[in-house]
Structures are given as C-alpha cells and as structure tokens.
C-alpha cells in the first residue's frame, strides 16, 4: 500500500503514525510519503527555545477531556513528558470596565455551578445573577437540530452571562463570534445536558459531584502540555517516520486521480500512490480538489476561518501582581486584545527563574492589517492598562495566524456529513485536519487517525 499524506501538522503526523501501527498489525507492507509545504513539520504547533524562554508557536496546551492525544502520547512512549497546569496558579480573570475580576469558581463556560462564588462575583449585576440562577427553573427549549452558542446562552442564562462570561471564554477558544458558532459542533455537552436533564446547571452540578470526569481528564486536569512544549509531540512523531518519508518544502500543487489511486505533483515531480490523506485546512484541500470534484471543493472552501495575532513577551523580572493563568477580554469592553496568557505561571519551564513570559492575543483586524511595530505597541499598551506592566520585554516574538482557525457556524455538522458522503465517493481520498469535526489538537489527531483507518480499509 502506497499512501501520501499532504500536510505535516499534528493531524497529518498522527495519520502517519497510525498508518504504521495498522500496517504492522495487519502485516501489510506500507510505503509512506508526507508532503509538507513549509521547511518545518508541525503545522500550527511547535516550540522555540529563545534565550531562556520556551515560546510556543501556537497552542500552548490541549484539553484532556477528548482522549485521542493522551492515548497517542501513551503509544508514543512520551506519557512521562506530559505536564499539567501549575496547581498553585489556578483560574483566570475577566476584564470588566478595565479592571480584572476572577472567573467565579465552578463556572463552566456558560453555567454557574458554584453558587457562592457566582453570587458574590462583581462581574454581573444582581439582575444578571438572578436571571442566570433562574436557569434551574426553566423548561426545556423546543428540540432543534442546531443553535448558535449565543442563542443557547441567552435563552438559558441571559444576556449578561453571554456578554460578560460566555463570549470571552468561548470566543477565546474558538476565535469566533458566539452568534454564529454552532453549539452542537463545538460544545454538544450543554445541548445534551438540556435534553437529558432540562436544567444545564443541575446536570453539570450532578456531573461534578459524581466526579464523572473521564480517567484521563481527572489525572491531568483540564489542560495538559509537554515538559518542553508542544514540540515534544512533533519531534516524537517525526522520529517514528521511515527514513526519507517526510518531504519538507514540498507543497503539493496538483492531484490527478488514476485507475489505482492518485498522482500528486510537487514542482515537476509526480508521485503515484494508492491512497491520499489530505490533512489540510478546508481552503487548502478545496484548492487541490477543485479540478477533481468542484462541488466537494466548494463545500470545503465554505468552511469559514478566523485570524488572530499572538505577541509573546519575555521579561527578565517577575510581576507579583499577576494572578492565575491569564485574562480574557469581553468584546463589550471594546479593547484590542482578546486574551492574555501568563505562560510562565500556567506551565512549568516556560521561563527560567525570576523571569516572566506573557502571551497577548490580538483580534482579526490587527492580525490582518497592522505591522509588527503596531502589534507590539498595542500589546504593550494592553499590558500597561490591564496589568500595570511598563517594563521593556527582553524577548519579543510576534506571530500572525491569518485565516488559520476554523469557525464552525450553525449547521456545521450537517454540512460536514454531506461533505464526507461526497468525499467517500473517491476511494483514494481521505480527509483529515481540524476543519471537520473539532478544532483542537486532540480533534486533529483523531481526524488523522480516522483518515488512516479509512485509507487502510
């Protein structure tokens, strides 16, 4: 079996590893080629060590409630390199009228499960709190196939919870407007909680007391990373590849189906294989598939993508005023920043003793239009205004992610089901990547593994 994988992000690399597992298990010979457009494997993840700071290129960790990445780490033998967020720092803050307030303990994305902390929080007005607490009395909503996150939060908990808590928390993770974001495609557990228990608050409270967190999640906490950053995962996956399987600086420009499978062109060179796994963004897959299946390509191209900029600032001093893992900024505050992560507080080993590493996320317009000087100036203004930090950073790393984050709009899962049905007509093709069924690294890993299963079936 000859298989080509296009894209060496976490999804493509996980597909490559799983293909080798399957080939070994089924005692089938496998010839594997991975084409990566850039000179570096890892896609949107990776870590740079810069002058005593461990600077993440994108993701600084991953959610542990979806087990695909923890399982992969175990199979790769790097389970002992997993780290959890530092327990001493717990929690994060939300900005209200330019000041920081802790997210109430027990607050879960939209649902106030810790009653006391929620009632004493200054983030909401008394009316806002009353409205949110009344969720326990509300009847179930009418059944519907999908709904926007904003509509659900407003309907169950009221507009104040949406504006002040849910929007910055959920918008921060998905880089998207909750008014457009599909609840079923992003956080189905809330919809399921309403369906099964009527009240989301009561359902989550019951789950918490039953401590029904999956074993993986319970062991690592909600987030995990690796001791030397996400690069550990990339390096380990690359290390498992057969010699010369990974072709860097090799953008696939064209694919032509053949009787047996497909041929892929990089520059003037063609490679013919039995199966192709596209581990790319929706738009990049669409570009390659347009000449082969225009309706399928159009469906892929329609998946919306958002942008952001990330300014990493490394300081040669600690700032005692920082508490928790970071700050999220509600859109209603009208500020240019979306969030800040105190990386050296959240994870061990991100900065050496006596230093601080802070990541500032700025929004779409700045990411797409501002130059580096402007991005740095805005990030420093935000540090000054929100955290009282005026010091000059020792290390500055600015990254832009333009149209890099898939945004699952209402109806996404129905569109993906139709898209996958169409893709299944091409026997040689399997789609992976985080455009389809989950935006995080565990989802990308799972998508890669499922594509590998399909390719070897």
The answer to whether 229 contacts ligand FAD (rule: CB under 6 A) is no
CA angle, 455 then 456 then 457, to 5° = 95
The answer to whether 8 contacts ligand FAD (rule: CB under 6 A) is yes
Residue pair 423/161 in contact by the 8 Å Cβ criterion: no
Shortest Å, Cβ 339 to ligand FAD: 10
Residue 308 or residue 327: which is nearer to ligand FAD going by CB? 308
> What are the residues whose beta carbons fall under 8 Å from the beta carbon of 43, sequence distance 6 or more?
7, 8, 9, 10, 11, 12
The answer to whether 322 contacts ligand FAD (rule: CB under 6 A) is no
Cα–Cα dist 349/88, whole Å: 14
Residues 88-127 that bind ligand FAD (CB under 6 A): none
Orientation of helix 200-209 relative to helix 188-197, angle to 10°: 100
The answer to whether 170 contacts ligand FAD (rule: CB under 6 A) is no
Applying CB under 6 A, which of residues 3, 4, 22, 44 lies at the interface with ligand FAD? 44
The answer to whether 431 contacts ligand FAD (rule: CB under 6 A) is no
Residue 43 or residue 178: which is nearer to ligand FAD going by CB? 43
Applying CB under 6 A, which of residues 18, 19, 33, 58 lies at the interface with ligand FAD? 58
The answer to whether 221 contacts ligand FAD (rule: CB under 6 A) is no
The answer to whether 9 contacts ligand FAD (rule: CB under 6 A) is yes
What is the residue whose two structure tokens read 């199966």?
A: 275
What is the residue whose two structure tokens read 């063609």?
A: 270
State whether residue 48 is helix, strand or coil. Answer: strand
Token readout for 403 is 């149209």
Is beta strand 31-35 parallel, antiparallel or unpaired with respect to 2-6? parallel
Shortest Å, Cβ 145 to ligand FAD: 25
The answer to whether 36 contacts ligand FAD (rule: CB under 6 A) is yes
Half-sphere exposure of 259 (CA within 13 A, CB side): 0
The answer to whether 59 contacts ligand FAD (rule: CB under 6 A) is yes
Strand partners, 361: 310, 339
Judged by CB under 6 A, the stretch of 43-51, 123-131, 200-208, 409-417 that binds ligand FAD is: 43-51
Which residues in this chain contact ligand FAD in the complex, by CB under 6 A? Answer: 6-12, 35-38, 43-45, 58-62, 251-252, 279-281, 284, 308, 310, 401, 404-405, 433-434, 439-441, 444
């Amino acid at each position: 079996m000859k298989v080509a994988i296009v894209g060496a992000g976490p999804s493509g690399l996980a597909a490559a590893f799983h293909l080798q597992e399957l080939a070994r298990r089924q005692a089938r010979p496998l010839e594997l080629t991975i084409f990566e457009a850039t000179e570096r494997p890892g896609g949107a993840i990776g870590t740079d060590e810069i002058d005593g700071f461990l600077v993440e290129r994108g993701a600084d960790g991953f959610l542990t409630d979806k087990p695909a990445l923890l399982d992969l780490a175990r199979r790769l033998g790097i389970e002992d390199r997993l780290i959890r967020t530092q327990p001493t720092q717990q929690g994060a803050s939300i900005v209200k009228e330019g000041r920081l307030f802790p997210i109430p303990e027990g607050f879960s994305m939209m649902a106030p499960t810790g009653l006391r902390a929620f009632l004493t929080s200054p983030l909401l007005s008394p009316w806002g709190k009353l409205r949110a607490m009344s969720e326990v009395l509300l009847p179930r909503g009418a059944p519907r196939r999908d709904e926007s996150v904003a509509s659900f939060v407003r309907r169950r908990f009221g507009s104040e919870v949406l504006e002040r808590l849910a929007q910055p928390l959920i918008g921060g993770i998905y880089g998207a407007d909750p008014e457009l974001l599909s609840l079923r495609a992003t956080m189905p557990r809330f919809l399921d909680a309403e369906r099964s228990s009527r009240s989301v608050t009561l359902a989550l409270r019951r789950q918490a007391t039953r401590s029904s967190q999956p074993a993986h999640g319970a062991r690592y906490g909600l987030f995990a990373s690796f001791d030397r950053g996400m690069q550990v995962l990339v390096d380990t996956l690359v290390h498992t590849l057969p010699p010369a399987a990974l072709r860097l600086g090799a953008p696939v420009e064209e694919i032509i189906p053949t009787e047996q499978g497909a041929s892929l062109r990089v520059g003037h060179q063609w490679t013919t294989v039995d199966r192709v796994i596209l581990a790319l963004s929706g738009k990049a897959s669409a570009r390659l598939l347009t000449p082969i299946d225009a309706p399928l390509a159009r469906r892929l191209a329609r998946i919306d993508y958002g942008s952001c900029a990330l300014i990493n600032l490394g300081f040669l001093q600690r700032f005692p005023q920082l508490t928790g893992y970071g700050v999220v900024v509600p859109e209603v505050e009208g500020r240019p920043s979306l969030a800040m992560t105190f990386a050296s507080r959240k994870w061990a080993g991100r900065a050496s003793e006596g230093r601080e590493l802070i990541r500032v996320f700025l929004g779409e317009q700045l990411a797409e239009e501002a130059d580096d000087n402007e991005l740095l100036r805005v990030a420093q203004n935000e540090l000054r205004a929100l955290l009282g930090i005026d010091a000059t950073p020792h290390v500055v790393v600015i990254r832009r992610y333009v149209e890099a984050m898939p945004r699952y709009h209402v109806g996404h899962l129905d569109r993906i089901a139709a898209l996958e049905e169409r893709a299944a007509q091409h026997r040689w093709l399997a789609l992976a990547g985080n455009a389809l069924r989950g935006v995080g690294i565990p989802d990308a890993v799972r998508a890669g593994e499922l594509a590998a299963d399909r390719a070897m079936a």
